[in-house]
Amino acid sequence: MIIVMKPEATANDLEAVKNKIKNEGLDYHLSQGSSRTIVGVIGDKKKIAMLQMNSFSGVEKTVSITEKYKLVSREFKKEDSVVDVDGVKIGGGHFAVMAGPCSVESREQLLEAARAVKECGVQFLRGGAFKPRTSPYDFQGLGVEGLKMMRSVADETGLKVVTEIVNINDIDTICQYADMLQIGARNMQNFQLLKEVGLTRKPVLLKRGLSATISEWLNAAEYIASGGNYNIVFCERGIRTYETFTRNTLDLSAVAAVKELSHLPIIVDPSHGTGRWQMVQPMARAAVAAGADGLMIEVHPHPEVALSDGDQSLKPANFKIVMDEVKQIMKIMGKTL
Ligand code: PEP
Ligand code: MN
pLDDT in tens, 68-121: 899 999 989 999 999 999 999 999 999 999 999 999 999 999 999 999 999 999
Going edge to edge, which strands form the sheet with 2-5?
Answer: 27-32, 37-42, 2-5, 59-63
H-type alpha helices, the chain: 11-23, 45-50, 107-119, 144-157, 171-177, 191-199, 214-226, 253-261, 270-274, 277-290, 316-332
Percentages (nearest 5) of helix, strand, coil residues in the chain: 40, 20, 40
Span from the CA of 247 to the centroid of ligand 1 (angstroms): 12
| Atom 10 (ligand 1) nearest CA | 185
272 in contact with ligand 1, CB cutoff 6 A:
yes
Distance CA 65, CA 83 (A): 24
Locate the ligand 1 atom nearest the alpha carbon of residue 309 and give its number: 3
Find residue 29's DSSP bridge partners: 40
Give the separation between CA 83 and CA 86, rounded to whole angstroms: 10
* 188-212 as b/e: b if 16+ CB within 10 A: bbbeebbebbbebebbbbbbbbeeb
**Which residue type occupies 68?**
K
pLDDT (tens digit, 9 = 90+) per residue, 48-69? 988 899 999 999 999 887 678 9
Which residue from 134, 269, 271 has its CB within 8 A of the most atoms of ligand 1, so it is best to mutate? 269
Are β-strands 59-63 and 2-5 bridged in parallel, bridged antiparallel, or unpaired?
Answer: antiparallel
Assess whether the C-beta atom of 39 lies below 6 angstroms from ligand 1.
no
pLDDT for residue 33 is more than 90 = no
pLDDT surpassing 90 at residue 13: yes
What is the C-alpha R_g of the chain? 21
Q: What is the pLDDT of residue 66?
A: 67
Spatial distance between the Cα atoms of 22 and 251, rounded to a whole number of angstroms: 41
231 Cα–ligand 2 center, Å: 23
CA angle 18, 229, 39 (to 5 degrees): 25
Amino acid 279 reads M
Contact, 217 vs 68, CB < 8 A? no
Under 8 Å between Cβ of 170 and 146? no
What pLDDT, on the 0 to 100 scale, is given for residue 64? 82
Nearest bound ligand to the CA of residue 296: 1
Q: Atom 6, ligand 1: which residue's CA is nearest?
A: 184
pTM (whole model) above 0.75:
yes
Q: Which ligand gives the minimal distance to the CA of 247?
A: 1
Distance CA 278, CA 318 (A): 10
Atom of ligand 1 nearest to the CA of 184: 8
Cα–Cα nearest to 237, from 187, 289, 194, 193 = 187
The reply to whether ligand 1 has any atom less than 6 angstroms from the CB of 29 is no
Instruction: Tell me how far apart the alpha carbons of residues 100 and 200 are, in angstroms, rounded to a whole number.
Output: 25
| pLDDT tier for residue 45 given thresholds of 50, 70 and 90 | confident
> Mean pLDDT of all residues in the chain?
96
**Tell me: the pLDDT tens digits for 140-190?**
999 999 999 999 999 999 999 999 999 999 999 999 999 999 999 999 999
Pick the ligand that lies closest to the CA of residue 307. 2
Is residue 241 pLDDT above 70, yes or no?
Answer: yes
Among 45, 66, 41, residue whose Cα is nearest residue 56: 41
Would you say residue 337 has pLDDT above 80? Answer: yes
**What pLDDT digit, counting tens, does each position of 209-223 carry?**
999 999 999 999 999
